[in-house]
Amino acid sequence: MPFIMLIYYIITAYILAMLIWNFIKEKKSVNDMLLYLLVMIPLILRLLRVK
Amino acid sequence: MPKQWKIKVILILIVAAAVITAGIQLYNHRHYRMLLTAGPGVTKVHMLSDYCSGLKGTMADTHVFFLKGKEPGGKMLILANTHSNEPASLLAALIFLENAVVEKGTLIIIPQFNNSGGRNTRPGDGYPLYFEIQTSWGTKKFRMGNRDASPLDQWPDPDVYVHYPDKQLLSFLDIRNTNRTWPGRPNGALMEKVTYAAMELMRTEKVDMTVDIHGAETMFPVTNCIVAPEKAIRIATMTSLTLKAREGFDNHVEPSPSGFRGLSHREIGDFSDTLPFLLEAPLPFLDQPTGPKTVKLLLDGKDPFLLSLAKKNKLFVPYDESGWPMENRVGQHCSAVLELLRQFSRKSPDRSIQVKNVPRYAGIVKNGVGYYYHNPATINKKDLYFN
């Protein structure tokens, strides 16, 4: 795996971890919960390399 | 379980259901095996990876069909689906593939040049995943692709695409656009390998002329035209004038700009002895101010918003209630390719290329595109290729 791609995977994992953390911490806003889930989709697919 | 977690679980299930439902459709589209029927003129079939080993085993690898005549002569390469959301190019190439018989010289056809792009879509624009062409024996189904290669095959995109070898700065997205990655390189990004393989094909096979077939918006000035660099402009001009005089449709000539890099009509000529031409036919489906991007709009090119704009002289092509049907676009491409062949053969008789059994504009407009596709049930299985 090229170095640049490795960095991109690390960035993807970091942003995904932040989104999961925010999703867990969110207590009231259903809109925000849904928003976190939707933004997570491409990041999860990329990280798991689901084509 | 606390109430907030009940809500979260329900949301996760809803999102997962939506992802799985859409994912299955997109997976099936990406892996749909489209039928390519080799006609009586096909003499051998290669893969593009034969010219650049880096493509082997990737979704970017694609079929290369050779139609060699009995008499030696020149060679022409036809590239279709460089942009897979401009399908008149594919349909025209398949008419050549299924019907052309070469008497002199060689025709080389790559019907799905950006094969990865053909397995991509543009969900944000609501692109249809497939379209069908009516024939006398039923319908022929095609995958509708996208302009750029799939990010599943080439990722990540750079912040800025630095073109090789000119170092011109281009949009990040164009690194997945096979009409910005010419002349390519064997160790570059996947799409650079695709264009490098095509350059190697042209150089090793000593191809005389290459035609890259496209479609363009009616609101874009470079539409309904033949784009050619300095060394090919005379043949392009003669072709344009002859098409207008004999077949009655406009196809003006646009000079290939020398300062805009990565395009087929520029780099092929600069990095090989081949004469490049790029054909554009109007494609209302690509215009932004249209109604929904439906299969109907793709096939008949009729749109009320474009009609309104045409009345305000905002389009670069004539446009009325009849739209821009697929038959007209495919017919224009077939006639333009045949006329380019004729003009080249007149100019270089020792390298002439003679092709028969390919219909021209009037025939395709009259009979429809599907008329020229053969029933696969009646074709020898060895002549059927799935991609």
How large is the average pLDDT for residues B128-141?
Answer: 97
For an interface test with A, the pick among B8, B31, B116 (most A C-beta atoms closer than 10 Å) comes out as B8
A34–B11 CB contact, under 8 Å: yes
Closest CA to B44 of B107, B114, B111, B112: B107
> Residue B17 falls within a domain, yes or no?
no
How large is the average pLDDT for residues B365-381?
Answer: 97
B15–A38 CB contact, under 8 Å: yes
How large is the average pLDDT for residues B157-167?
Answer: 95
Q: Which helix (H) or strand (E) holds A2?
A: none
Number of domains in chain A: 1
Give residue-wise pLDDT tens across range A11-36: 999 999 999 999 999 999 999 999 99
- Residues from chain B that touch A26, judged by Cβ atoms under 8 A, are 4
> Residue B261 falls within a domain, yes or no?
yes
- Would you place residue A50 in the very low, low, confident or very high pLDDT band (cuts 50, 70, 90)? confident
How large is the average pLDDT for residues B266-277?
Answer: 98
Residue from the list B19, B27, B156 with its beta carbon closest to the beta carbon of A5: B156
The answer on pLDDT for B337 being more than 80 is yes
The answer on pLDDT for A39 being more than 80 is yes
What was the pLDDT predicted at B166? 96
Write out the residue range of the structural domain in which residue B230 sits. Answer: 32-386
Number of domains in chain B: 1
DSSP state of B110: E
The answer on pLDDT for B1 being more than 90 is no
CATH number of domain containing B167: 3.40.630.10
SS3 state of residue B381 = helix
SS3 state of residue B131 = strand
Number of H helices, E strands in chain B: 9, 15
User: How many angstroms separate the CA atoms of B270 and B266, rounded?
Assistant: 6
> From the CA of B195, how many Å to the nearest CA of chain A?
21
Q: Which two tokens stand for residue B102?
A: 């070469």
How large is the average pLDDT for residues B138-146?
Answer: 97
Write out the residue range of the structural domain in which residue A19 sits. Answer: 3-47
How large is the average pLDDT for residues A40-51?
Answer: 92
How large is the average pLDDT for residues B306-321?
Answer: 97
- Would you place residue B12 in the very low, low, confident or very high pLDDT band (cuts 50, 70, 90)? very high
The complex's ipTM works out to: 0.91
DSSP state of B141: E
- Residues from chain B that touch A38, judged by Cβ atoms under 8 A, are 15
B265-274 burial, b for 16+ CB within 10 Å, e for fewer? Answer: bbbbbebbeb
In chain B, whose CA is at the least distance from the CA of A9?
B156
- Would you place residue B124 in the very low, low, confident or very high pLDDT band (cuts 50, 70, 90)? confident
- Would you place residue B141 in the very low, low, confident or very high pLDDT band (cuts 50, 70, 90)? very high
> Residue B364 falls within a domain, yes or no?
yes
Are B105 and B351 a contacting pair, CB within 8 Å? yes
How large is the average pLDDT for residues B224-250?
Answer: 97
Residues B191, B192, B197, B200: what is their CA dihedral angle, to the nearest 10 degrees?
160
Helix axes A3-25, A30-47, angle to 10 degrees: 150
Are B146 and B127 a contacting pair, CB within 8 Å? yes
Q: Against a cut of 0.90, is the pTM above it?
A: yes
Q: In sequence order, which residues have a C-beta less than 8 Å from that of residue B104 and are 6 or more positions away?
A: B69, B70, B71, B72, B73, B352, B353, B354
- Residues from chain A that touch B19, judged by Cβ atoms under 8 A, are 41
Helix axes A30-47, B3-30, angle to 10 degrees: 40
Q: Indicate the pairing of strand B101-110 with strand B71-79.
A: parallel
How large is the average pLDDT for residues B134-146?
Answer: 97
What was the pLDDT predicted at B123? 84
Closest CA to B298 of B330, B267, B271: B330
> From the CA of A46, how many Å to the nearest CA of chain B?
9
Residues B75, B76, B81, B83: what is their CA dihedral angle, to the nearest 10 degrees?
110
Q: In sequence order, which residues have a C-beta less than 8 Å from that of residue A11 and are 6 or more positions away?
A: none
The answer on pLDDT for B13 being more than 80 is yes
User: How many angstroms separate the CA atoms of B35 and B143, rounded?
Assistant: 10
Tell me the average pLDDT of chain B: 97
What was the pLDDT predicted at A1? 75
The answer on pLDDT for B53 being more than 90 is yes
Residue from the list A8, A26, A33 with its beta carbon closest to the beta carbon of B156: A8
The answer on pLDDT for B4 being more than 90 is no
A28–B4 CB contact, under 8 Å: yes
Helix axes B326-347, B88-99, angle to 10 degrees: 60
Share of chain B above pLDDT 70, in %: 100
Counting Cα atoms < 13 Å in the Cβ hemisphere of B386 gives 5
DSSP state of B34: -
> Residue B19 falls within a domain, yes or no?
no
